[in-house]
Amino acid sequence: FERKKILVLGAGYAGLQTVAKLQKLLSHQDADITLINKDEYHYEATWLHETAAGTIDWEEGVYPINKVIDTQKVVFVPAEVTAIDKEAQQVETTQGTFDYDILVVALGFESETFGIEGMQEHAHSLVNPQTALAARQEIERNFAKYKQSNDDKDISILVGGAGFTGIEFLGELVESIPELCERHGIDYNKVKLTCVEAAPKMLPMFPENLVDYAMQYLKDRGVNFMVGTPIVAANENGFVVEVDGEKRQLEASSIIWTAGVRGNRLMDESFDGVKRGRIIVNADLRIEGYDNIYAIGDVAAVMNGEESRPWPTTAQIAMQLGEHTAKNIQLSLKGEKLEEFSYNDRGTVCSLGSKDGIGLVMGREIKGRKAAFMKRVIDSRAIFKIGGPMLAVSKGKML
Ligand code: NAD
């Protein structure tokens, strides 16, 4: 009996949940488990809008990976993955080459600008704690500048995209910007918060009355929505949009792009048939043609059999994929048949700051404080599931 080498790439929700479950299911004798991640910490990707708006400090949304792994069973290597060699069964990183018998690819998401001119250079995005913090600092710098400049552009914020990220970010902004204004002696009524969305409707997964509620909540607090308005470029003055076939410049010193995500670019280089960094996986979460490679989280397109389209890339699904992968690895080590993944939808909440929100939980519509409470439950549960009760006490949002 030979101990297998299990290599997990990425310590986001999918990868870290895989490791957390593997270390429970397997004994030290069963396998060598190695986890590789660029940073020494895991970050709560679902809290980035809070960091970006300044309602939490970035440190609140991160914790050291070593805190949640059992170092008797798992070796953690902080390194950046640079290449995956499927034939040699090796992964190259900035800290050397690693062999594997079983590979779990969970390398997460990046911003997708769809090649829109100037977006990469001029807009901020919310993809990791650094970019979220940079967005916050940009807003704070521009508001501070306004005293001297008296230029309305400096107290104008443009948010591109009204998906979950855009709406949740706006929900935080209407909470934090009034405070920022107070600090700088700025009249909040002068601040321009504009959300630009290409589609005619936002958040199509929610019933209309909940979407209306969310929009009204944000409008009441000063957000201006431009729907059915695609952003076609970004520059130092803001976004360029297209209205009735004509280009129009929207002015703002702070511009944030929340209108697209894609899987890690390394996927495109490493596998065939990858679209926007995502690869379609089999029902047991392995990559077709490679019975020792799993792809999960934002780099995977896991098909929803009933609707023949992939499940959305959410933290909730990523964690379930991680747990399932750990179980399948255990089955494979025992020489048993792997199981097909099935998603257990526990509900979705879109927060509107810390006190409000909308959601669909167990088939029921919720809004207001109830939704905000559910969001805290969801955020805390993710921490508990990966890190256990001690971490939930220090990092959770229930206390
Ligand atoms: P998204 O892709 O879901 O939304 C992007 C939005 O931007 C869309 O509404 C799209 O129409 C719009 N858009 C695209 N191109 C545009 C353009 N050129 N001009 C203007 N608008 C444009 O992205 P997201 O909101 O970051 O979400 C990513 C994933 O993460 C999704 O699967 C989402 O479900 C998940 N997520 C979930 C939660 C939650 O459950 N609370 C929170 C955040 C993200």
Q: Do 243 and 267 share a domain, yes or no?
A: no
Which domain, by its residues, includes 170? Answer: 119-259
Q: Do 217 and 248 share a domain, yes or no?
A: yes
Q: What is the pLDDT of residue 1?
A: 59
For 148-157, what is each residue's pLDDT tens digit?
999 999 999 9
CATH code, 159: 3.50.50.60
Q: Is 161 in the pocket of ligand 1 (CB under 6 A)?
A: yes
Q: Is 168 a catalytic residue?
A: yes
Q: Is 111 in the pocket of ligand 1 (CB under 6 A)?
A: no
From 199, 228, 259, give the residue that closes a domain.
259
Q: Do 205 and 329 share a domain, yes or no?
A: no
Q: What is the pLDDT of residue 399?
A: 74
Alpha carbons 278 and 268: distance in angstroms, whole number: 8
Mean pLDDT score of the chain, rounded to an integer? 96
Decide if the complex's ipTM is over 0.90. yes
Q: Do 233 and 281 share a domain, yes or no?
A: no
CATH code, 323: 3.50.50.100
For 178-202, what is each residue's pLDDT tens digit?
999 999 999 999 999 999 999 999 9
From 231, 259, 287, give the residue that closes a domain.
259
Alpha carbons 269 and 289: distance in angstroms, whole number: 17
Residue 381 lies in a domain: no
Q: Exposure of 17 by Cβ count < 10 A (0-12 exposed, 13-18 middle, 19+ buried)?
A: buried
Which residue CA neighbors atom 12 of ligand 1 most closely? 161
Nearest 5°: CA angle at 47, between 178 and 94?
130
For 357-366, what is each residue's pLDDT tens digit?
999 998 899 9
Q: Do 212 and 306 share a domain, yes or no?
A: no
Q: Is 303 in the pocket of ligand 1 (CB under 6 A)?
A: no
Please determine, for residue 295, whether its predicted confidence score (pLDDT) is greater than 90.
Answer: yes
HSE of 227, CA atoms in CB hemisphere, 13 A: 10
From 214, 233, 259, give the residue that closes a domain.
259
- Choose the catalytic residue: 44, 50, 168, 323: 168
Of 47, 12, 54, 41, residue with least CA distance to 396: 47
Residue 320 lies in a domain: yes
Q: Do 104 and 144 share a domain, yes or no?
A: no
Residue 173 lies in a domain: yes
pTM, two decimals, is: 0.97
The angle that helices 315-333 and 13-25 make with each other, rounded to 10 degrees, is 30
Residue 367 lies in a domain: no
Please state the rounded mean pLDDT for residues 60-79.
Answer: 96
